[in-house]
């Protein structure tokens, strides 16, 4: 049987095909998908948080690195991670998609399976969106709305002298997974899974907000970029101990075999969607014994503004080498 393309069923046929199993927290929804706009409510005593992220074929994914399901999952995960970095709980999601007319409808169905699975796991309502044609590949933009107790959202700009610098998880696994995919090495399936299906650290975001984190950022573009953003926004200097950055055993092994320092994946890779941030020494006591968090540095005012990497007893400026869409 010949597989159908989008042009065979049209825009509204495609919308009908994917419009099912969309609501996972009905208590927030007054009017769901199907009207010109969705209507949702938030509890008293909460602020709303909103963020958006886009995935473009050829930049964020190719058919070599990600399946349709993976694209859908990652679109959600990258957006939900922004909520985690604010200490917020994502509750609603809308998607704007541009598809080539010759794209198989099965690709779109699988993509929305990934979207639904991620929304279901993190209990985020899929409230609708927009769909249009594209002459330059697949483009998908997600916009997420979340809630956080009033006046408690965690910003990048709150780091204070003496604060502990921490990270969650194992930054660099996603970049290692991408390297494995591009080199057709299926041996390192754990790293590949981290790249294809990253986990937004929503629970950690809430725990760290409640513990008193002074700043947070999610690791979408590598530690070097994210920690520099915190230092710049807060007007402080930060010292990072390179030997303290937690690298997974799988990344260490693969890096050794590939002749690559896996710390370069952690510092400059990105798309881990772990959290990096700062917290007072006293407040860090509340979370430091939980598995999955590691102290990697300290906020200071010396030797000057910026981020400095300590390795082998020496300090050197940690320059930003994370991904930049417009950097030549």
Q: Is 51 annotated as a binding residue?
A: yes
| 157 known ligand binder | no
Q: Is the peptide bond before 303 cis (omega within 30 degrees of 0)?
A: yes
Q: According to the annotation, is 82 in a ligand binding site? A: yes
129 is in an annotated binding site: yes
Would you say the C-alpha torsion 198, 199, 205, 211 has a positive or negative sign?
negative
Q: Which residues contact 6 (CB under 8 A, 6 or more apart)?
A: 14, 99, 100, 101, 102, 103, 104, 105, 108
In angstroms, rounded to a whole number, what is the distance separating the alpha carbons of residues 1 and 63?
23
Is 218 assigned to a binding site?
A: yes
Phi, psi of 159 (to 5 degrees): -60, 140
Alpha helices in the chain (DSSP H): 6-18, 68-84, 105-121, 173-182, 189-196, 202-211, 223-234, 249-258, 262-268, 281-284
Q: Say if residue 52 carries a ligand binding annotation.
A: yes
- Asked if residue 132 belongs to a known ligand binding site, the reply is no
Chain centre distance of CA 277: 15
DSSP state for residue 243 in the 8-state scheme: G
- Is 156 annotated in a binding site? The answer is yes
Pairing of strands 306-311, 237-241: parallel
Q: How far is CA 167 from the centre of its chain?
A: 14
Is 220 a known ligand-binding residue? Answer: yes
60 annotated among ligand-binding-site residues: yes
Query: Would you say 89 is a known binding-site residue?
Result: no
Q: Is 323 annotated as a binding residue?
A: yes
Angle at 66 between CA 181 and CA 106, to 5 degrees: 145
Q: Is 25 annotated as a binding residue?
A: no
Residue pair 82/51 in contact by the 8 Å Cβ criterion:
yes
Is 212 labeled as ligand-binding?
A: no
- Given a contact cutoff of 8 angstroms between Cβ atoms, the answer to whether 127 and 38 are in contact is yes
Using the CB atoms, write b or e for 213-227: b if 16+ within 10 Å: bbbbbbbbbbbbbbb
Handedness of CA 74, 78, 83, 87 (dihedral sign): positive
Q: Are 299 and 237 in contact (CB under 8 A)?
A: yes
Binding residues for ATP: 112, 129-130, 156, 220
Binding residues for substrate: 60, 271, 323
Binding residues: 36, 51-53, 60, 82, 112, 129-130, 156, 218, 220-221, 271, 323
Binding residues for Mg(2+): 36, 51-53, 82, 130, 218, 221
């Amino acid at each position: 049987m010949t597989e159908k393309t989008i042009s065979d069923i049209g825009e509204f046929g495609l919308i009908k095909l994917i419009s099912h199993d969309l609501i996972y927290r009905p208590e927030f929804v007054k009017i769901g998908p199907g009207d010109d706009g969705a209507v949702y409510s938030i509890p008293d005593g909460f602020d709303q948080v909103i963020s958006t992220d886009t995935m473009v074929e050829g930049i964020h994914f190719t058919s070599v690195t990600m399946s349709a399901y993976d694209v859908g999952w990652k679109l959600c995960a990258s957006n939900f991670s922004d909520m985690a970095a604010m200490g917020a709980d994502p509750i609603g999601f809308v998607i704007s998609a541009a598809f080539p007319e010759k794209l198989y409808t099965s690709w779109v169905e699988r993509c929305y399976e990934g979207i639904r699975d991620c929304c279901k796991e993190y209990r985020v309502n899929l409230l609708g969106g927009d769909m249009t044609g594209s002459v330059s590949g697949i483009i998908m933009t997600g916009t997420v709305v979340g809630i956080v107790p009033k006046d408690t959202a965690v910003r990048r700009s709150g780091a204070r002298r003496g604060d502990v610098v921490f990270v969650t998880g194992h930054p660099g696994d996603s970049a290692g997974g991408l390297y494995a995919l591009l080199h057709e090495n299926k041996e390192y399936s754990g790293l590949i899974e981290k790249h294809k299906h990253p986990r937004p650290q929503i629970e950690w975001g809430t725990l760290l907000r409640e513990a008193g984190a002074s700043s947070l950022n999610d690791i979408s573009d590598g530690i070097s970029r994210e920690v520099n953003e915190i230092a710049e926004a807060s007007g402080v200097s930060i010292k990072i101990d390179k030997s303290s950055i937690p690298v997974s055993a799988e990344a260490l092994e693969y890096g050794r075999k590939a002749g690559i320092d896996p710390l370069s994946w952690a510092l400059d890779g990105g798309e881990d969607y772990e959290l990096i941030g700062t917290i007072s020494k006293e407040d860090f006591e509340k979370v430091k014994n939980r598995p999955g968090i590691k102290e990697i540095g300290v906020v200071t005012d010396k030797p000057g503004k910026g981020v400095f990497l300590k390795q082998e007893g020496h300090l050197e400026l940690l320059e930003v080498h994370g991904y930049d869409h417009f950097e030549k």
